């Protein structure tokens, strides 16, 4: 078949199951065979689509489902002219792999839809995205999914995503080995976190939001300076919530009970309600609460299980769609998280124990409000999103080692983050895609501190850091050949940073504002030699602005901007949602200049400095194999090497030291199994083994202590229907102690004996339901 011709083979019912056997190859030839085997007339007039590659289709299914398989990843869709004639056309540019079909989404024969990289801001299908990205589905059907675990679910599932382990709601995330330090401070994050299209954080730890009723999470490896601006050196973590559904009332709930070995019992509960308020307006409400059992004993105070954590919160979202092409989303997120003590232990004492003089609680209160508008403008897609965050954190550390009598160091952070972005994107059937946008950001962080015994605690200097940004950005993908696409883009970014020392004992004084105009380019090339293969190379840059840091009890100093440039190359084969076998391999190299790092002085007080220049080299791979319809196997590997090879003068002793907190090697293997027990009742089961290699807490004494070097196994199972089910999950199956993080209290860090053991074996039983 050639473009512009029509294959005719008589009348047929498109819903009638038929046997199909069509090999991979050019779409034009495959459609000839489809027309013959389906008994329909197929029309194709677009010569470019005719030369696209298809992965083929085999098996017994309806004609429409077979056609969906044939067109997956080709950028084409179809329209039935009548019962005997189907026309192949280019898919709409915003959803290049969307299908027009009358087959219900729940059909057992229907293929999984192509994975769309929403974080690309152009809804590009994964098969066309020239970079490293991974996606984790978070729907309720996944066996044993304990969404109350928050971000830890993502860390456990992705070898390239690392985290500190100071405690829930106070951790830093790292992607692909881009790790500045293990301690919290005024530096902007290296990973930008998003809730849909609005930013969750800037110069703050991971808010650790509950993941109940989230659709998925995407990790887009960085840097991502062109599309996302500052503080995205390592990449993007994007949570994708389920949006309100129009014209449909539904709900869900889950209740779980858990028990931790050597610790106490806990539980979690969550519920969702989706209500249509009118024909074009709907509301979705989520509420949840959890108590994570404690398992650390403090023999100094004679207390058991001191590190219990409780959290509660919710989300409310409204969707208004007055007509086709216009959608308005508005909502709010609230979460309060409190740990009554630190989760670290000490070497030289019995397992899971430490000795401290006072409690070290932590409190994280998070609020987000957002508004997003999407509309079609002359064939293009326009999206405008605005978010406001209020994030309050209260931390207490045991300062007794410094004073020789029970004393506390207390820090209160008050963070306000305002963000806005308006972007427009479009494209055509030839594969040309474009994107242009405007963004703005304002972040204000206030830190208040005091130290000493309760009755004589004295205030220390505090600091206020303000960051403002405004930027224009654009990106375009141009087909050079049928199978080669070149992507190029740039961001013009104006940023302004200012700091102010605050405190009761000193007059307020401000540092001069630092202003910068930056140019952040990117370039990528993708070659698709066949329907299943994608080979790519990608170059990008990123930066973080500087700020003001307290360097002593009554002194402050500035830290300057740092920047990074990264080049990566790799390939992807197949699509795990469609193909029996899929694989991806990426190599990357990064040059990081003037690295910002939050550090700890020998007296226990924090400070921030630029420690020098370094590099990070990485290799990562992922394999997904489904030997049968019921059985799935997954494996992932990450190798990393890094070095501070040009240290700043105060850190010359750390020359050639590895960057902190990211293991040199990590990996995960997983297995999933599904079996239909009887009509409407199925068993979903799975297991995983995750290895975290060794890393260092920090650079130079006394923080150059080792951590990691352990393997953790987990099992899960769910028996039930789409409506109701019972699940069982077991984490840390072999009850490994390990050492996730060699830090807990900065005032005792000189002893080099702090460890953070894995949560002991924890069993959770849960009941979930939908209506």
One domain, residues 344 and 441: yes
Q: For position 606, what pLDDT does the model report?
A: 87
3-state secondary structure of 677: strand
One domain, residues 247 and 377: yes
Q: Please identify every stretch of the chain with a pLDDT value under 50, giving residue numbers as ranges.
A: 1-13, 93-113, 143-144
Q: Which of 86, 112, 138 is the last residue of a domain?
A: 112
One domain, residues 19 and 134: no
8 A C-beta contact, residue 700 and residue 655: no
For residues 542 and 738, give the distance between their C-alpha atoms in angstroms, rounded to a whole number. Answer: 34
Give domain status of residue 1, yes or no. Answer: no
Give domain status of residue 121, yes or no. Answer: no
Q: For position 365, what pLDDT does the model report?
A: 98
Q: Which of 202, 235, 268 is the last residue of a domain?
A: 235
Q: Whole domain around residue 360: which residue ranges?
A: 236-770
Q: Report which secondary-structure segment, H or E, holds 236.
A: strand 235-241
Q: For position 116, what pLDDT does the model report?
A: 64
Please state the domain count of the chain. Answer: 3
Q: Which of 112, 137, 172 is the last residue of a domain?
A: 112
Q: For position 629, what pLDDT does the model report?
A: 85
For residues 59 and 623, give the distance between their C-alpha atoms in angstroms, rounded to a whole number. Answer: 24
Quick check: pTM over 0.85?
Answer: yes
Q: Is 770 exposed, middle or buried (0-12, 13-18, 19+ CB in 10 A)?
A: middle
Give domain status of residue 582, yes or no. Answer: yes
Q: For position 27, what pLDDT does the model report?
A: 83
One domain, residues 633 and 757: yes
Give domain status of residue 120, yes or no. Answer: no
Q: For position 98, what pLDDT does the model report?
A: 29
Q: For position 12, what pLDDT does the model report?
A: 40
One domain, residues 96 and 162: no
8 A C-beta contact, residue 514 and residue 497: yes
Q: For position 114, what pLDDT does the model report?
A: 52
Which residue matches tokens 């409407």?
680
Q: For position 508, what pLDDT does the model report?
A: 58
8 A C-beta contact, residue 225 and residue 232: yes
Q: For position 65, what pLDDT does the model report?
A: 85
- What's 64's domain CATH number? 3.55.50.30
Of 316, 335, 319, which is closest to residue 327 (Cα–Cα)? 319
Q: Is 689 exposed, middle or buried (0-12, 13-18, 19+ CB in 10 A)?
A: middle
One domain, residues 107 and 140: no
For residues 147 and 138, give the distance between their C-alpha atoms in angstroms, rounded to a whole number. Answer: 8
What HEC string does 317-362 produce? EEEEEEECCEEEEEEEEEEEEEECCCCCEECCCCCCEECCCCCCCE
pLDDT digits (tens, 9 = 90+) for 244-255: 999 889 999 999
pLDDT digits (tens, 9 = 90+) for 437-495: 999 999 999 999 999 998 888 998 888 999 999 999 999 999 888 789 999 999 999 99
One domain, residues 435 and 422: yes
∠ Cα 353 396 747 (to 5°)? 65
Give domain status of residue 528, yes or no. Answer: yes
One domain, residues 228 and 242: no
Phi, psi of 572 (to 5 degrees): -130, 140
Phi, psi of 178 (to 5 degrees): -85, 85
Q: For position 146, what pLDDT does the model report?
A: 56
One domain, residues 53 and 154: no
One domain, residues 681 and 612: yes
Give domain status of residue 220, yes or no. Answer: yes
For residues 673 and 154, give the distance between their C-alpha atoms in angstroms, rounded to a whole number. Answer: 20
One domain, residues 433 and 451: yes
Q: For position 15, what pLDDT does the model report?
A: 60
One domain, residues 281 and 405: yes
For residues 27 and 557, give the distance between their C-alpha atoms in angstroms, rounded to a whole number. Answer: 63
């Amino acid at each position: 078949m050639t473009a512009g011709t029509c294959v005719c083979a008589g009348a047929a019912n498109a819903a009638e199951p038929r046997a199909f056997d069509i090999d991979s190859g050019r779409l034009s030839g495959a459609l000839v065979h489809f027309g013959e085997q389906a008994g329909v007339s197929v029309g194709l007039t677009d010569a470019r689509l005719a030369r696209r590659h298809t992965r083929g289709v085999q098996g017994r299914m309806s004609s429409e489902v077979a056609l969906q398989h044939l067109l997956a990843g080709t950028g084409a869709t179809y329209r039935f002219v009548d019962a005997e004639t189907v026309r192949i056309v280019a898919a709409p540019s915003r959803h290049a792999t969307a299908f027009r079909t009358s087959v219900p989404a729940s059909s057992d024969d229907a293929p999984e839809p192509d994975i769309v990289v929403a974080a690309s801001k152009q809804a590009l299908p994964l098969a066309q995205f020239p970079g490293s990205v991974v996606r984790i589905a978070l729907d309720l059907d996944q066996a044993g999914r304990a969404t109350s675990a928050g971000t830890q679910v993502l860390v456990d599932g992705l070898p390239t995503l690392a985290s500190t382990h100071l405690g829930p709601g106070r951790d830093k995330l790292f992607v692909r080995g881009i790790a500045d330090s293990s301690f919290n401070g005024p530096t902007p994050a290296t990973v930008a976190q998003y809730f849909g299209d609005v930013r969750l954080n800037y110069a703050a730890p991971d808010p650790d939001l509950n993941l109940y009723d989230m659709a998925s999470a995407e990790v887009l490896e960085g840097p991502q300076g062109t599309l996302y601006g500052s503080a995205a050196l390592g990449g993007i973590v994007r949570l994708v919530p389920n949006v309100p559904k129009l014209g449909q009332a539904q709900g869900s709930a889950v209740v779980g009970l858990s028990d931790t070995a050597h610790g106490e019992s806990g539980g979690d509960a969550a519920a969702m309600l989706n209500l249509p308020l009118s024909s074009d307006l709907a509301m979705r409400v989520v509420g949840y609460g959890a108590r994570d059992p404690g398992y650390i004993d403090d023999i100094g105070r004679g207390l058991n299980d001191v590190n219990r954590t409780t959290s509660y919160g919710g989300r409310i979202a409204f969707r208004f769609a007055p007509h086709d092409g216009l959608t308005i989303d508005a909502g709010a997120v609230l979460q309060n998280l409190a740990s009554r003590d630190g989760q670290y232990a000490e070497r030289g004492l019995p397992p899971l124990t430490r000795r401290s003089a006072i409690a070290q609680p932590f409190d994280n209160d998070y609020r987000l409000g957002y508004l997003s508008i999407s509309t079609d403008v002359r064939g293009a897609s326009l999206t405008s999103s605005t978010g406001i965050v209020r994030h309050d954190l209260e931390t207490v550390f045991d300062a007794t080692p410094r004073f020789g009598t029970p004393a506390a160091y207390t820090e209160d952070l008050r963070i306000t983050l305002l963000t806005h972005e308006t972007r427009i994107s479009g494209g055509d059937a030839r594969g040309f895609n474009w994107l242009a946008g405007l963004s703005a950001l304002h972040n204000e962080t206030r830190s208040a501190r005091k130290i000493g015994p309760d009755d004589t605690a004295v205030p220390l200097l505090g600091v206020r850091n303000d960051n403002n940004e405004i930027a224009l950005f654009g990106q375009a993908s141009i087909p050079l050949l049928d199978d080669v696409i070149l992507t190029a883009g740039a961001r013009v970014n104006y940023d302004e940073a200012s700091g102010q020392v605050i405190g009761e004992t000193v007059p307020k004084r401000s540092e001069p504002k630092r202003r910068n105009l930056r140019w952040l380019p990117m370039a990528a090339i993708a070659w698709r030699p066949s329907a299943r293969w994608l080979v790519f190379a990608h170059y990008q840059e990123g930066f973080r602005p500087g700020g003001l840091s307290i360097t002593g009890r009554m002194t402050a100093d500035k830290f300057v901007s740092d920047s990074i440039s990264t080049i990566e190359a790799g390939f992807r084969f197949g699509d795990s949602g469609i193909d029996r076998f899929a694989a991806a391999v990426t190599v990357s190299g990064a040059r990081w200049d003037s690295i910002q790092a939050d550090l700890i002085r020998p007296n226990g007080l924090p400070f921030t400095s630029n420690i020098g220049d370094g590099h990070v080299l990485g290799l990562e791979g992922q394999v997904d194999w489904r030997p049968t319809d019921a059985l799935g196997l997954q494996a992932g590997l990450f190798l990393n090497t890094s070095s501070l090879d040009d240290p700043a003068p105060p850190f010359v002793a750390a020359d050639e030291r590895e960057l902190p907190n990211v293991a040199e090697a990590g990996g995960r293997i997983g297995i999933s199994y599904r079996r239909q027990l009887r009509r409407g009742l199925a068993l979903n089961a799975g297991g995983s083994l995750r290895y975290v290699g060794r890393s260092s807490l920090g650079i130079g004494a006394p923080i150059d202590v080792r951590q990691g070097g352990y393997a953790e196994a987990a099992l899960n199972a769910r028996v039930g229907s789409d409506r109701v089910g019972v699940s069982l999950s077991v984490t840390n199956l072999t009850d490994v102690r390990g050492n996730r993080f060699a830090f807990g209290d900065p005032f005792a860090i000189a002893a080099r004996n702090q460890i953070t053991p894995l949560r002991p074996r924890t069993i959770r039983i849960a009941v979930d339901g939908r209506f």
